[in-house]
Amino acid sequence: MKTIYQTPGGQVSRLFLDMLAKPHVLLGGATGSGKSVTINGLIAAALYDSPSQRRFILIDPKRVELMDYADLPHTIRYASEPATMIAALREALGICDARFKDMQRRHLREYDGSHVYVIIDELADLLTVKATKADATNLIQRIGQIGRAARVHMIAATQSPISAVVPTPVKVNFDTRVGFRTATAQDSRNIVAVKGCEQLPDPRAAGKGYAYYRDGANLTLYEIPMVSDIERHRLIAWWMDKRHTRRRLFA
């Protein structure tokens, strides 16, 4: 077992930085298993960089999990309603297309600008609700196929990793997987291709969360780093102050 902790002094977990470097990441596990903690940790890690380096498109079907980040200078779009969530996915695909045209013009094989993260708090809500299912499935599949060269990443969380909810043509693009505590061994296999997630301790009882991290053929058990609410809100406040200062200077 390999364990990585968040380091002191405002430094960022290497685990989160490694996830942010991956093309696309799928987080799967039961309610309360640590998915939201990890998404918040990933966003906090990204906030140690400027908007010129890392930007977000936030898709929040639950309307509460990602709201704190809606007005940050890093955020291109925050969406929580069916129509706006589909529009946000279309915007992400548009960014991919524009970057490919730029890459073609400059004879590049990979885009060399900012990273854009499409962060989806509950993938199943997009792929099962009638109002968004067809469009979301097609758009997420396409972004998964072409986003990696354009530095457009997807980070998606789901409680329901079964193929009836997350179709194989969508899931196959998420080649990096994080498996938190699951209800069954089959759910574990659906996320990280092996059983074991069902045996992880409940973080609400244990006081800490664990997850299996599959990166290609490598499977490692990690203790998930915890970014405190104090640190998260400090980062948000710092960037909001920078944004307001810039507005005053250029008003």
The answer to whether the beta carbons of residues 99 and 143 sit under 8 Å apart is no
- Strand-pair partners of 28: 158, 179
Q: For the chain, what percentages of helix, strand and coil (3-state, to nearest 5) are there?
A: 45, 20, 40
Residue-wise pLDDT for 15-67, tens only, equals: 999 999 999 999 999 999 999 999 999 999 999 999 999 999 999 998 888 99
Confidence at 3, pLDDT banded by 50, 70, 90: very low
Cβ within 8 Å of residue 251, ≥6 positions away: none
Residue percentage of the chain with pLDDT more than 90? 75
Please state the domain extents for the chain. 14-249
Backbone angles phi, psi at 96, to 5 degrees: -55, -50
pTM here is: 0.92
Round to whole Å and give the CA distance between 12 and 249: 31
Q: Which CATH architecture has domain 14-249?
A: 3-Layer(aba) Sandwich (3.40)
Q: In whole numbers, what is the pLDDT of the chain averaged over residues?
A: 90
Residue-wise pLDDT for 166-219, tens only, equals: 888 899 999 999 999 999 999 999 999 999 999 999 888 777 889 999 998 899
pLDDT value at 240 more than 60: yes
